[in-house]
Amino acid sequence: MKKIIISTTILCISLFSCGKKDETKSSIIKTESGIEMVLIPGGKFIMGGAGADNSPAREVEISPFYMDIYEITQEMYKKLELPDASHFKGESNPVEMVAWINAAIYCNERSFEEGLEPCYDEKTWECNFSANGYRLPTEAEWEYAARAGTKGKYFFGNDSRLLKNYAIFKANSQNRTSTTGTRKPNPWGLYDMYGNVAEWCNDFYSKDYYSSAPAKNPKGPEKGKARVVRGGSWADDESKINSETRGFDESINDACILRDTIGFRAVKKAD
Amino acid sequence: MKKTVIIFILAFTVFSANAGNFSRPLDKSQLNLSAIPYKIVFESYNKGNWDLHIINADGTGRKNITNTPDIHEMYPKVSPDGKHIAYVADTGEGRNKKRDIYTLSLIDSKKKLISEHSRQPAWSPDSRYIAFVKSESTRRFSIESWATKGLYFYDTYTGDIKAHPNKKIEHLYNLCYAPEGKYLIATVLGGMGFRHTNIAVSLESSRFFQLGIIGCRPEFSPDGKKIIWGRSDTLFNIADINLKRRPPVLNKDIKSFIKVEKGFEIYHADWSPDGKYIAFAYGPDGDQAVGGMAPGWDICVAEVATGKWTKITNDGNHNKEPDWMPFTGDSK
């Protein structure tokens, strides 16, 4: 069902892609589930940094996609009647204590709800990227969206003193999650890309992946024991709160090791 | 008295020797399993279907007691009087799967539906009540053990179901009655104000309190003086417990019992009726949840006094959730 209502505002933004300045427009849509997503324009960017597991930095091309403006809240999660084990209760707080598989299940349920083709095979958990339903972002999509056309460590520049304006993290979290969207968004209108909860990506984690990853729409290693998380959380200090630092976690399907620091947001293809 | 002292010394020696070290299953000949007068019932997966199997504690006499290719029977719990097995049965597939609680009579093999959309049955010490929780969502099936709401009690005398007075109970799993009958202990995840802990729930009021242990799936010894639980995927702990004390378990009383090497897991510990043995599931990294795939997992038996343990099944057919049953005398 393609009843996505192209709603409101057209945000005029500037996209800097590999030094190539490009004027583009990014539209916000409200899905049938009532969740706001923003169109992330396709383009190229420099992914990675100089760290042990995020180098070599290299040029990556990303196709356009839609991304949830906010982290999935407990209200959004429970609307689909999914069991919510969040530690820090609050309808507008991000869902946490959610295993990777349960994040994928949410995506499938949201797809079912809107009559879209689910992306995840619930026996193998492989993602069908050609399906029109919801899925978790690839790590490359997440970083591309977080950078929002910028090149620095942060999407607001390199002054870490400004981080408090954009992120819920250890220095200002009071040791818990916060209502989503209470800090400033990034240039593409995405809230809480840094902090509040770290966000599950679709990719398996491998510390060496960047050296062998394809240049267009990389999707992560085929196998692994941990999945990538990005953006850092309320519990992290500023060293983990930026566009390029990679994280990973093994709580893919194990209730005994669920984290109250990990949540997610969903994406869907744009074409 | 002398016997008690010797057992204590043996147990202390084993606990100390195991601390920090992992152990592997011994050859079956290292334990005198044929002397154990009890059977064990467990869940096993073969040819796409879960069934309940009964086996002697020495690994002989294995029998599939459900044999239903279109129904998945799991999580067996034997009534203390040995007359019934309460279990869960899954029907349907994928997101449309449904989990219900049934009982199976060990006298005439009759099955009885206890409650739909329900899971985690536990028998009261007098075999009259079956405590259980309901599935949190009926919109789509969740395999998560903690995906539950409420706490309920089925009266096998009258067929009535009563809800626990505390309406805020949620996300409980692995229910286990205290042998004195006044409390249930269980693990709670992401609910009732807790991130992940183990609690005792009063059966006479809406009160509940933490046990003071980290990990999951605590199980009482038959005399109610000890519990065993999974401190992690690879470690069972045993401790003294006193529900009249806060916290009921003191750190100084916690002992490491069995620890296995990384890459393997141990789950679902259960005390034998005489308190001398622990049955549990062991195998390579897998899904311990009811209905979760755990290829290579087998049922094991350990001596409480010595910590020695061995596998009593060897097919690795996702064998999990062992529960001791009083000897019924039909095949020993």
The domain total for chain B is: 1
Mean pLDDT of B174-182: 97
Residues above pLDDT 90, as percent of chain A: 85
> Measured in Å, how far apart are chain A's first and last C-alpha atoms?
14
Kindly tell me if the per-residue pLDDT of A13 is higher than 60: no
Mean pLDDT of A118-140: 97
Is B332 within 8 Å of chain A by CB? no
User: B135: which 2 tokens?
Assistant: 């599935």
Q: Is B2 exposed, middle or buried (0-12, 13-18, 19+ CB in 10 A)?
A: exposed
CATH of the domain at B70: 2.120.10.30
CB B276 within 8 A of CB B39: no
B332 in a domain, yes or no? Answer: no
Domain extent at residue B244: 2-325
Which residues of chain B lie closer than 8 angstroms to A260, CB-CB?
Answer: 195
B192 in a domain, yes or no? Answer: yes
Give the residues across from A117 on adjacent strands. Answer: none
User: B157: which 2 tokens?
Assistant: 């005398």
Confidence band for B20, pLDDT divided at 50, 70 and 90: low
Task: Give the Cβ contact number of residue A37 at 10 Å.
Answer: 26
pLDDT score of B326:
87
Report the run of H or E that residue A103 belongs to, with start and end: helix A100-113
Residue B151 CA to residue B172 CA, distance in Å, equals: 8
| pLDDT 10s digits, B274-324 | 999 999 999 999 999 999 999 999 999 999 999 999 999 999 999 999 999
Residue A224 CA to residue A204 CA, distance in Å, equals: 5
Distance from CA of B294 to the nearest CA of A (A): 12
CB contact under 8 A, A83 and B137: yes
Task: Give the Cβ contact number of residue B292 at 10 Å.
Answer: 20
> Across the interface, which of A83, A253, A258 has its CB nearest the CB of B287?
A253
Confidence band for A26, pLDDT divided at 50, 70 and 90: low
With CA atoms as reference, the chain B residue closest to A252 would be B287
What is the predicted ipTM? 0.83
CB–CB contacts below 8 A, A to B = 55
With CA atoms as reference, the chain A residue closest to B232 would be A256
Kindly tell me if the per-residue pLDDT of A213 is higher than 90: yes
> Across the interface, which of B94, B144, B191 has its CB nearest the CB of A255?
B144
Report the phi/psi class of residue A167: left, alpha or beta, with left for phi > 0 and alpha for psi in -120 to 50.
beta
Contacts (Cβ under 8 Å, ≥6 apart) of A126: A120
> Across the interface, which of A81, A84, A122 has its CB nearest the CB of B139?
A81
Kindly tell me if the per-residue pLDDT of B8 is higher than 70: no
B330 in a domain, yes or no? Answer: no
DSSP state of B86: E
How many residues does this entry show for chain A? Answer: 271
B119 in a domain, yes or no? Answer: yes
B44 in a domain, yes or no? Answer: yes
Kindly tell me if the per-residue pLDDT of A124 is higher than 70: yes
Domains of chain A (ranges plus CATH)?
Answer: 5-269 (3.90.1580.10)
Strand B63-64 with B49-56, pairing? antiparallel
Alpha helices in chain B (DSSP H): 2-18
B305 in a domain, yes or no? Answer: yes
pTM of the model: 0.88
CB contact under 8 A, B140 and A87: no
DSSP state of B3: H
Kindly tell me if the per-residue pLDDT of B12 is higher than 90: no
Give the residues across from B135 on adjacent strands. Answer: B148
Return the closest-CA partner of residue B33 out of B306, B315, B312: B312
Return the closest-CA partner of residue A185 out of A18, A28, A44: A28
Strand A198-204 with A262-263, pairing? parallel
| pLDDT 10s digits, B27-76 | 999 999 999 999 999 999 999 999 999 999 999 999 999 999 999 999 99
User: B56: which 2 tokens?
Assistant: 């002697």
